[in-house]
């Protein structure tokens, strides 16, 4: 079996809002084809035009090749070797950033393809299930252009999530700092008020996470507010300060009454070594597409296991990424939850329409997948409907 073509589909919702902090408004879907008619599907969560360019470009020397040109003619089942080939062959251009995100989409597709060929779910290829179900938490980003609108919509979504059967949810309290939603700039007191109201809404027996999207300029400022949030018993607080402030995170992990989560932007397991060993992060959050695919994500799971940390995959995209997170979690010992953007509570048409038969939750749990690969039925209608280009998709088959 050989790889014959790599298709890249850049997808965008019609009325995207660049002031919003939701990356579910676009997507890069990668489909890898073979000479035996089996294809694999993957996606990544970064600028889709940039990631597509990383895949489709050509290179003039062995240190800066395009990703697709390194794949054509290769055995798609040799995932570990192919990951290293892509990483090494693009190293002068990549090493981190968009190139790794593009490799992540490719690697996800290769594992999906391998599962289909071997007629096994991906988690069985990752070592087999270590649990009998996957537990999702609802990831809730509200709409609104003022703090009161934002708070009220978040409360409404929290009520709906609990009514749907979720036993845990993450409250996206993104009203301050460089990545505030819709340009809102609230106060620390308003952050505390929103978290308090959310806890009152869901009750004390409900697991509640909080994401503040890098809102504070330094660890000292963050700690002052986190001490006020402790009484509301958040399971973790996600990304309180800049992702590169490793010393600041180490300070928070030494002094914070709340465990800290981070890692959604990290590329490769090497950056998670920094998060675990230098920043002392307690909850590692690899995004399967951004970290470099399953090949790298399983190394992050090993880092967590060796250091007695928790690993909870980040996912804010489509049902493709959710399926990847579920398979990862099924095989990861220290992974109590996965992030799950409920289609019913998402404003993104891509989240609702891209996959026809996605994983379903029942009584707060997702049963172990049984279909080969990721087990997805991709909607070709959605690929055409939300294509950012006048053609159906780009392909590389040189």
- Cα-based angle 97, 86, 331 (whole degrees, multiple of 5): 80
What is the pLDDT, as a whole number, of residue 34? 98
Average pLDDT, the chain: 95
The answer on 208 and 66 residing in a single domain is: no
The answer on 63 and 133 residing in a single domain is: no
Domain assignment present for residue 212? The answer is yes
- What is the mean predicted confidence (pLDDT) over 148-177? 97
Element (H, E) at 139: strand 136-140
Domain assignment present for residue 372? The answer is no
What is the pLDDT, as a whole number, of residue 391? 45
Check if the beta carbon of residue 32 is closer than 8 Å to that of residue 3.
yes
Domain assignment present for residue 197? The answer is yes
Report the C-alpha gap between 309 and 321 in whole angstroms.
Answer: 23
DSSP structure class, residue 387:
B
Domain assignment present for residue 398? The answer is no
The answer on 334 and 220 residing in a single domain is: yes
Domain assignment present for residue 221? The answer is yes
Question: Does residue 211 register a pLDDT over 70?
Answer: yes
Domain assignment present for residue 231? The answer is yes
The answer on 129 and 112 residing in a single domain is: no
Which token pair is 251? 């300070």
Identify the CATH number of the domain in which residue 36 sits. Answer: 3.30.390.10
Angle, helices 219-229/246-255, rounded to nearest 10 degrees: 30
Domain assignment present for residue 397? The answer is no
The answer on 108 and 37 residing in a single domain is: yes
Domain assignment present for residue 175? The answer is yes
The residue range of the domain holding 291 is: 125-367
Question: Does residue 357 register a pLDDT over 70?
Answer: yes
Report the C-alpha gap between 319 and 292 in whole angstroms.
Answer: 18
The answer on 301 and 276 residing in a single domain is: yes
The answer on 135 and 30 residing in a single domain is: no
Report the C-alpha gap between 28 and 208 in whole angstroms.
Answer: 30
pLDDT digits over 217-274, tens only? 999 999 999 999 999 999 999 999 999 999 999 999 999 999 999 999 999 999 999 9
Backbone angles phi, psi at 127, to 5 degrees: 125, -10
The answer on 182 and 149 residing in a single domain is: yes
- What is the mean predicted confidence (pLDDT) over 341-349? 89
Q: Of residues 139 and 398, which shows the higher confidence score?
A: 139
List, in sequence order, every residue forming a beta bridge with 232; answer none if it has no partner.
none
Q: Of residues 21 and 57, which shows the higher confidence score?
A: 57
Identify the CATH number of the domain in which residue 325 sits. Answer: 3.20.20.120
The answer on 103 and 168 residing in a single domain is: no
The answer on 97 and 76 residing in a single domain is: yes
pTM (2 decimals)?
0.96
How much helix, strand and coil, in percent to the nearest 5, is found in the chain? 40, 15, 40
The answer on 246 and 112 residing in a single domain is: no
Q: Which residues fall within 8 angstroms of residue 194, CB to CB, at 6 or more apart?
A: 147, 150, 151, 154, 171, 173, 175
The answer on 152 and 100 residing in a single domain is: no
Number of domains in the chain: 2
In our burial notation (b when 16+ CB lie closer than 10 A, e otherwise), range 129-140 reads bebebbbbbbbb
List, in sequence order, every residue forming a beta bridge with 26; answer none if it has no partner.
12
What is the pLDDT, as a whole number, of residue 192? 98
């Amino acid at each position: 079996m050989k790889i014959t073509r790599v298709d890249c589909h850049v997808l965008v919702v019609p009325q995207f809002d660049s002031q919003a902090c939701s990356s579910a408004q676009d997507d890069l879907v990668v489909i890898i084809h073979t000479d035996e008619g089996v294809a694999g599907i993957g996606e990544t969560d970064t600028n889709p035009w940039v990631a597509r360019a990383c895949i489709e470009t050509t290179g003039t020397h062995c240190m800066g090749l395009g990703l697709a040109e390194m794949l054509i003619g290769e055995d798609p089942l040799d995932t570990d070797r192919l990951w290293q080939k892509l990483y090494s062959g693009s190293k002068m251009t990549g090493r981190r950033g968009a190139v790794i995100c593009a490799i992540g989409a490719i690697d996800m597709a290769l594992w999906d393809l391998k599962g289909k060929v071997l007629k096994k779910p991906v988690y069985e290829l990752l070592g087999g299930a270590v649990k009998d179900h996957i537990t999702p938490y609802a990831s809730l980003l509200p709409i609104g252009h003022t703090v009161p609108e934002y708070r009220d919509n978040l409360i409404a979504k929290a009520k709906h999530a609990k009514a749907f059967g979720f036993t845990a949810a993450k409250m996206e309290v993104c009203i301050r700092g460089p990545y505030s939603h819709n340009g809102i700039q609230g106060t620390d007191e308003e952050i505390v008020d929103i978290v308090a109201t959310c806890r009152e809404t869901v009750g004390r027996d409900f697991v509640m996470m909080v994401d503040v999207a890098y809102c504070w300029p330094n660890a000292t400022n963050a700690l002052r507010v986190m001490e006020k949030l402790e009484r509301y018993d958040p399971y973790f607080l996600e990304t309180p300060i800049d992702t590169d402030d490793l010393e600041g995170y180490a300070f928070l992990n030494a002094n914070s009454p709340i465990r800290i989560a981070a890692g959604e932007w990290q590329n490769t397991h090497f950056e998670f070594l920094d998060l675990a060993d230098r920043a002392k992060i307690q909850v590692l959050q690899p995004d399967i597409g951004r970290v470099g695919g399953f090949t790298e994500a399983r190394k992050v799971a090993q880092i967590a296991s060796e250091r007695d940390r928790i690993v909870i995959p980040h996912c804010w995209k489509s049902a493709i990424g959710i399926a990847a997170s579920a398979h990862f979690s099924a095989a990861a010992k220290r992974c109590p939850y996965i992030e799950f953007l409920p289609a019913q509570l998402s404003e993104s048409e891509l989240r609702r329409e891209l996959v026809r038969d996605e994983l379903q939750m029942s009584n707060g749990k997702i049963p172990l997948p049984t279909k080969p690969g990721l087990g997805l039925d991709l909607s070709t209608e959605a690929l055409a409907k939300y294509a950012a280009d006048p053609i159906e998709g780009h392909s590389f088959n040189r």
